[in-house]
Amino acid sequence: MSDLIKKDESAAGHAQCMLNRRQFLMYTGTTAAAVSTISLNLFPGEAQAKARVVGYPRQHIGKLSQLKENIPLDFNYPDENRNSQCFVVKMDGAKAGGGVGPQRDVVAFSYLCTHQGGFMNGKYQAVGEHRVLGQCPLHLSTYDLTRHGIIVSGQAYQSIPQVLLELDGDDIYAVGVMGLLFGRNQNLMESQES
Amino acid sequence: MSSKYYLPEDKAPLPPVNAEVLTTCCDYCIVACGYKVYRWPVGTADGGPQAHENALKVSFPSGPLQAWVAPTQHNVVMHDGRPHNVVILPDKEAQAVNLTGDSSIRGGCIAQKVYNPNKPTRDRLMSPMIRINGTLQPVSWDMALDVATEVMKHVVEKHGANAYGMKTYLYQYIENTYAISKFALRHMNTANFAFHDTPSDVTSTPGFRDAGFENFAPSYQDWAAAETLLIAGTDPYETKTILFNQFIKPAIDAGQKTVWLNVRETAGIAYAKSRGNALFLQIDPGTDTPVLGAILRVILENGWEDKEWIEKWVNNQWASDSGFGQGTRNTPWQWRTTWGQFQTKGFEDYKQWNLAQKEYDPKEAAKIANIDPTDIYKAAEMLAKPKADGSRVKASFAIEKGFYWSNNTGNTNAVATLATVCGAGGRPGQMVGRLGGHQRGYQSGGAYPRNKSPQKHAGRRRQSMDCDRYFYAGHTRFAHVIGTTWIQAMCGSAGLNAKFEEQVTNNPHQVRSFDKQEIIDTLKARADSGGTVVLNQEIYLRDPIGSRFADIVLPAATWGESDFIRANGERRIRLYSKFYDAPGDAKPDWWIMAELGKRMGFDGFDWKDANQVCEESSRFSRTGPKAYHMLKVAAHAEGKTLHEKLRELGTTGIQGPTFYNYKTGELLGSKRLHDTTLTPEQMEAEGRSMATNMVNKKGTHFNSQSGKVNIQKHPWSLFSDYWEWMKPKGDELWHTNGRINEVWQSGFDDVDRRAYIAQRWPENWTEIHPDDAAARGIESGDQLMLYSERVPNLRQSIKAQDDTDFSFASRLKNGWIELNKAAVTAVAIVTPHVKKGTLYSYYLNTNQPSNALQGRVPDQISGNYSFKMGVARVKKIGESKYKSEFRSMSFAPRNIV
Ligand code: SF4
Ligand code: FES
C-alpha cells in the first residue's frame, strides 16, 4: 500500500510480470523428479530438475499472422495423448502475463478445467477489458487469462495450466507448461521421455 | 517449496496400492464434504499410472470427474515420528454430501493445511509460551498451565466469576467445545462468555427460534426438492459450494425457480439467471424486511396463503398466548416475546397487521430497497401463486449471514412468517432454515448462567452479557481467548483494539521475571489494578490478540491431529480421523481444558482420550438437533467406542438426531426435523421410541410451546431508525462486507498460508460499482482508503425506563451512542456485479479489518451485531502493484456466465 508510484509501463515493471523462458525453467526445476516414482518434494534435486526441463518439446503451433482477434486456435501439447487439448489466442490487445507478440496479448492454455476436468472448449470470452475462460460447464469455474490463468471465481485446485510460448518471427512455439494438466500425474508421460 | 508465492507444479505423486486410507471430512465450511486421506511412508514407492498400480484404481491420464491428484492435494507429514506422504482427496465413493467426489477450491486444497516445516504452515504454534520482557518465550506445559490457573483462581475469588471472560470458537469439534464450555459455564460459571461471531451468547436467528424452527432442520435433498427456492443473504455457490453444485444446481437445471435477495450478483446467481428461471432482487443493505413484508402483502391480498397448513400448524390466539409472557422463566425467548411487538393472535391477526403497515405496500418497500416494484409481485407469484390445477408450489426458504446479520430480529421474523404463510417448514421440499457458515461442532457442557448477567432492562428479563461492552467497561480481568481473533471479528473493531492496549499493554504490571511465582504475582497485580490478563489457545500466533496482547499462549492441535466428531448443515455426524502427529508440543483444546480443569480443582476433567470426552458429552446432546447419544448406545451394544462406531460409518456418517432399534440393532438417523409427514406409528415401527431413545418434539413438530408455529410480526420500525440514520449521506456509500468463495470458513489457513489462494486474494479489497467508481476517478487496482467519521458505538451498560429507550433513536438522543472514526485500506475492484451505491469488502483481513467501519450497535432485541451495516467514504490514495502486474488478484467480475 506504500507503493504509490505508477510503474505499470516501465520496462522493468513489465518484465517482472512476464515469465520468460529462463524463469519458467526455474519454476519447473523446483518441482520433483521426472522419471523417478518416489516423491522427493522435501528434497528437490538439481539433477532431476535438469532432466525434467529437457522433456518439454518445442512445438510449432501456428503463425501470429494467422491468429484472428479473440478466436482461439486449438492444438495438442505436450503430446497427442489424453488431456493434451490446448488453445492459443490473441486477446485483442489485452496484455497478459506470459503473453507474446508485440502487444503481449498472445497466450495459450489447457482447455481442461483443473477442478475435475470439465472441457472448456468454446468458453473463451472477451468481456470489456477482461479475458476469461469459463464458466466451466461442470461447476462454473472461471479463469483470468491475462493473469496466468488464475481463478476468477470457482473451485479449481490450481490455475488453468498455461502453455509457455516463444515467438520466432511469425512462428509461435509451445515450449512448456506451467501447472499440472488435469488428469495427468505428470505432464510428460513416461512413454514420451527418452 | 516453501514460498508463499504460488509456483505451479507439473507433477503429483499417486498413492500406491498399499497406501493406508483413512476417512475424514473437510475442516472448512458447513457442508463438510467427505474426504479420504491416503498415507504412505516417504521413501517407499509412489503408485504408478496404471489402475492396478495405484490406490485410486484409475488409469492416468484420467477423464473428467474421475479421480485425479492435483499438486495442491499432496503434502508430507510426520506420522508416528516418520515422514509420510499424504494425498487428501474428496471421496470419490461418497454416498452423501459431495456425491461424485466433488469439492470446492477450499477443501480441494486442504492438504496444504497440514503442518509442514518446508511450507507456509511452518509457523504453527508448537510450544506453550509466556510473555516475559515483552517477548513470548517458550516454557513447559506445566509452567504455563500453573501460571494460568493460579491467576484465574485469584481473579474469580477476588473479582467474581464474571471477571473471568471467555471468547471461543463455536464450531471446532464436539470434544473441544464440550470441554471448553464445561470449564467456563458449568465450573467457572461465568456470564462473561461469548462465541467468535457474536458479542453475547445468543441465537443467530431469533425469529426462527421464536417461530419454532431449528436452523438446520432441512436435509440437502429438501433444498433440491423445492420447486421455488428463496435464498437470502448468500450465494451458496460461493459459500456452501457443494450444496449448490450437487443439490441446488441440478435442481435449477431441472427447472427449479429461484428468488434471490442479495446486494451482489456472484457466479451462482448469474448462473441461475442464465437458466431463465431466477428472479434476482438486488436490494440495498438491510432492506430485506420491507421486501419480504411486501411479498407477504401480495400473497395475502390474493388469498394465496396455504390455508390448510395454517389451519393445522399455526398457533391461534390461545396457543400463542400460552407461550407468551407467561410465568417467570428467565429465557431469551421470554425476554423477546414479552416485548409485545411480535406476538400475534394467529394468522388473521397477522394479516390485519401486515395490511396496515405502510412500508409493506410493494411500492413503498421497493423504494426502500431500491428495486423494481414489479419484482415483488413476481416473487410472490413464484413462491405462492397456485398452479393452474389449483395445487401449491413447493417453496423453501434459505437464509444466511447477509440476511440475518443486517436486521437480525426483523429479517428472521419476516422470513419465518413468509415461509409459514407459504406452507413451508415441515414437509419434504417445503422447509425453512439456514444454509450455514461453520460446521456444527458445539456441544454445551454447561448452561449459560443468565441470572448472573448484569444486563437487564427495567421490567424485562435478563439478557446475555454483551462481552465486548463488558470488556470496554474494564470489568474483564482475565480474558481466555480460544481460536478467534476476537478483535477484528467484531464490529467497530478499532475501539476494541484500543481498549486491549489500555487494559493489557499499557498496564504497568508486566512480567519481567523468569520466576514462576513472580510471574503469577505480577499478573495478579495486573488484574487487581484494573487491567486484563490474556490467555490465548491457538494454532497460529494471531495479530494482535496473540502477538501483541496474550500473556500466555497455548499451542492447539487441530484437524487431522486428534480424532474428532462434528455435524454438517444437514446434521450429518462424521468422524474426522487423526492422520498425523500434531506439530511440536501442540495439544487438542480438550486436553488443554482437562489440564486447566484439574489444576483448578474441578471434577470430571480426567479424560484420557478424545473418545472419552465425546462419550461423556453424548447425553447432553439428546434434546439437540444433532443428538448423537444413541450412537454411543449402539457402539456399546457392539462392544465398540462411539468413535469406533462412527469410523465404521465413514464419510456417510449419520444424520442426527440418532435412534437405536434395540431389537434389530439398527442405528437410525433423521433426514429432517419438524417432519410433519412422520406418524407416531411409523416412529414406533422403526424402533425409534424404545427404551432410552428420546423422541423430541422437534422431530415431528415445531420447537414452540405448543409444537405448532408462532406466526410473528416483523415491525420495520424496530430497525428503520438505525437504517435511516445509517443511510449514506453526501458522498458516502453503503459499506457492507462478507465472504468470498475462494476463502470461506478457511481464512484461518488460506489468507496467509496457501500460496495459490494468497495470490488470488493477497489483501483486502473492495468491490465498487462502475458508476460510483467513475464519479470518484477510481479504477480497478487502485489503492483505496475507506473511511468514516460516523461509526456508531454503543457505550457501556444502559438502564432504560420504557421500551422506546432501547431504540437506536432514543439511544442516540440520550447520549448512549458515540461516533467514532475508522479507516481501512483496500484494493479497488470495479465491477457491475455489486449494487450501485454499495461497497462490498472482504470481511476479515486481519491486517485491514473492514469490520472497523461497521456499526457497533447490537440488535436491540437479540444482542447480535448488524455486521453488514456500515457506510464509508472512499478515495483513491494511489495504485496497488496488482494494477500493473499479472501475477496476483484478478479484476474480472464474478458474474460472467
Ligand atoms: S469448503 Fe465446504 S464445500 Fe468446500 S470441500 Fe469443504 S466442506 Fe465441501
Ligand atoms: S470441472 Fe470445471 S468447475 Fe468442476
Using the predicted structure, report yes or no on whether residue B326 has a pLDDT greater than 60.
no
Which among B758, B862, B816, B847 has a CA at the least distance from the CA of B493? B847
Supply φ then ψ for residue B402, to 5 degrees. -55, -25
Domain that holds residue A124: 59-178
Q: In Å, how far from its chain's centre is CA B160?
A: 31
Closest CA–CA distance from residue A60 to any residue of chain B (Å):
21
**Residues B256 and B397 occupy one common structural domain:** yes
pLDDT score of A23: 43
Is residue A51 situated within a structural domain? Answer: no
Lowest mean pLDDT among A87-91, B393-397, B741-745: B741-745
- Confidence tier at B381 by pLDDT (50, 70, 90): very high
**Residues B729 and B669 occupy one common structural domain:** no
Write down the ipTM of this complex: 0.94
Is residue B514 situated within a structural domain? Answer: yes
Is residue A194 situated within a structural domain? Answer: no
Mean pLDDT, rounded, for B647-657: 98
Ligand 2 in contact with A136 (CB < 6 A)?
yes
- List, for residues B770-802, the tens digit of each pLDDT value: 999 999 999 999 999 999 999 999 886 555 556
Mean pLDDT, rounded, for B145-154: 98
Cα Rg of chain A, angstroms: 17
Supply φ then ψ for residue B482, to 5 degrees. -120, 110
Q: Are B840 and B800 in contact (CB under 8 A)?
A: no
Closest CA–CA distance from residue B351 to any residue of chain A (Å):
42
Q: Which three cell numbers stand for residue A140?
A: 462454473
pLDDT score of A14: 41
Please tell me the pTM assigned to this model: 0.93
Ligand 2 in contact with A113 (CB < 6 A)?
yes
**Binding-face residues of A in 29-68 toward B, CB within 8 A:** 30-32, 34, 37-39, 41-42, 44
Contact with chain A for residue B98, Cβ under 8 A: no
| CATH, residue A149 | 2.102.10.10
Q: Which three cell numbers stand for residue B620?
A: 447432553
| CATH, residue B236 | 3.40.228.10
| CATH, residue B482 | 3.40.50.740
Mean pLDDT, rounded, for B181-209: 95
Using the predicted structure, report yes or no on whether residue B358 has a pLDDT greater than 50.
yes
**Residues A64 and A122 occupy one common structural domain:** yes
Using the predicted structure, report yes or no on whether residue A21 has a pLDDT greater than 60.
no
Give the integer Cα–Cα distance in Å for B704 and B331. 13
Q: How far is the CA of B574 from the centre of ligand 1 (A)?
A: 14
**Residues A83 and A118 occupy one common structural domain:** yes
Using the predicted structure, report yes or no on whether residue B288 has a pLDDT greater than 80.
yes
Comparing alpha-carbon positions, the chain B residue that sits nearest to A23 is B7
Give the integer Cα–Cα distance in Å for B334 and B314. 19
**Residues A82 and A170 occupy one common structural domain:** yes
Contact with chain A for residue B55, Cβ under 8 A: no
Ligand 2 in contact with A120 (CB < 6 A)?
no
Give the integer Cα–Cα distance in Å for B91 and B524. 51
**Residues B366 and B408 occupy one common structural domain:** yes
Task: Find where cell 390445477 sits.
Answer: B389
User: Within chain B, what is the greatest distance between any pair of CA atoms?
Assistant: 83
**Residues B493 and B428 occupy one common structural domain:** no
**Residues A38 and A63 occupy one common structural domain:** no
Q: Which residues contact B612 (CB under 8 A, 6 or more apart)?
A: none
Closest CA–CA distance from residue A143 to any residue of chain B (Å):
9
pLDDT score of A13: 41
Supply φ then ψ for residue B470, to 5 degrees. -65, -40
- List, for residues B845-881, the tens digit of each pLDDT value: 888 889 999 999 999 888 899 999 999 999 999 999 9
Contact with chain A for residue B117, Cβ under 8 A: no
Say which DSSP state B455 is in.
-
**Residues A72 and A154 occupy one common structural domain:** yes
Task: Find where cell 497485580 sits.
Answer: B525
- List, for residues B403-425, the tens digit of each pLDDT value: 999 999 999 999 999 999 999 99
Query: Is beta strand A150-153 parallel, antiparallel or unpaired with respect to A162-168?
Result: unpaired
pLDDT score of B801: 55
| CATH, residue B769 | 2.40.40.20
- List, for residues B680-730, the tens digit of each pLDDT value: 899 999 999 998 999 889 999 999 888 999 999 999 999 999 999 999 999
- Confidence tier at B323 by pLDDT (50, 70, 90): low
Mean pLDDT, rounded, for A123-127: 98
Give the integer Cα–Cα distance in Å for B567 and B439. 6
**Residues A99 and A32 occupy one common structural domain:** no
Mean pLDDT, rounded, for B883-887: 91
Mean pLDDT, rounded, for B32-52: 98
- List, for residues A28-41, the tens digit of each pLDDT value: 333 333 332 222 23
Is residue A183 situated within a structural domain? Answer: no
**Residues A126 and A168 occupy one common structural domain:** yes
**Residues B242 and B370 occupy one common structural domain:** yes
SS3 assignment, position A51: helix
Domain total of chain B:
5
**Residues B249 and B334 occupy one common structural domain:** yes
**Residues A28 and A116 occupy one common structural domain:** no
Identify the bridge partners of residue B87 per DSSP, sorted by sequence position. Answer: B38, B74
Is residue B894 situated within a structural domain? Answer: no
Is residue B751 situated within a structural domain? Answer: yes
Q: Cβ–Cβ of B885/A158 closer than 8 Å? A: no
Using the predicted structure, report yes or no on whether residue A49 has a pLDDT greater than 60.
no
- List, for residues B603-612, the tens digit of each pLDDT value: 999 999 999 9
Q: Are B856 and B490 in contact (CB under 8 A)?
A: yes
- Confidence tier at B495 by pLDDT (50, 70, 90): confident
Give the integer Cα–Cα distance in Å for B71 and B112. 10
**Residues B110 and B137 occupy one common structural domain:** no
Contact with chain A for residue B259, Cβ under 8 A: no
**Residues A15 and A88 occupy one common structural domain:** no
Give the integer Cα–Cα distance in Å for B580 and B582. 6
Which among B641, B622, B642, B644 has a CA at the least distance from the CA of B691? B622
Q: Are A174 and A23 in contact (CB under 8 A)?
A: no
pLDDT score of A119: 98
Domain that holds residue B637: 620-700
Is residue B825 situated within a structural domain? Answer: yes
Residue with the smallest CA separation from ligand 1 atom 8 is B33
Q: Which three cell numbers stand for residue B773?
A: 467508481
Give the integer Cα–Cα distance in Å for B251 and B544. 45
Q: Determine if residue B758 is left, alpha or beta; phi over 0 gives left, psi from -120 to 50 gives alpha, anything else beta.
A: alpha
Within 8 A of B74 by CB-CB distance, chain A residues are 39, 41
**Residues B313 and B240 occupy one common structural domain:** yes
A14 is catalytic: no
Q: Which of B395, B413, B434 is the last residue of a domain?
A: B434
Using the predicted structure, report yes or no on whether residue A177 has a pLDDT greater than 80.
yes
**Residues B536 and B458 occupy one common structural domain:** yes
Is residue A185 situated within a structural domain? Answer: no
pLDDT score of B799: 56
**Residues A105 and A167 occupy one common structural domain:** yes
Contact with chain B for residue A158, Cβ under 8 A: yes
Using the predicted structure, report yes or no on whether residue A173 has a pLDDT greater than 90.
yes
Residues with CB under 6 A from ligand 1: B 26, 28-29, 31-33, 98, 103-104, 106-107, 241-242
A139 is catalytic: yes
**Residues A13 and A104 occupy one common structural domain:** no
**Residues B223 and B370 occupy one common structural domain:** yes
Mean pLDDT of chain B: 94
Domain total of chain A:
2
Is residue A162 situated within a structural domain? Answer: yes
Using the predicted structure, report yes or no on whether residue A9 has a pLDDT greater than 80.
no
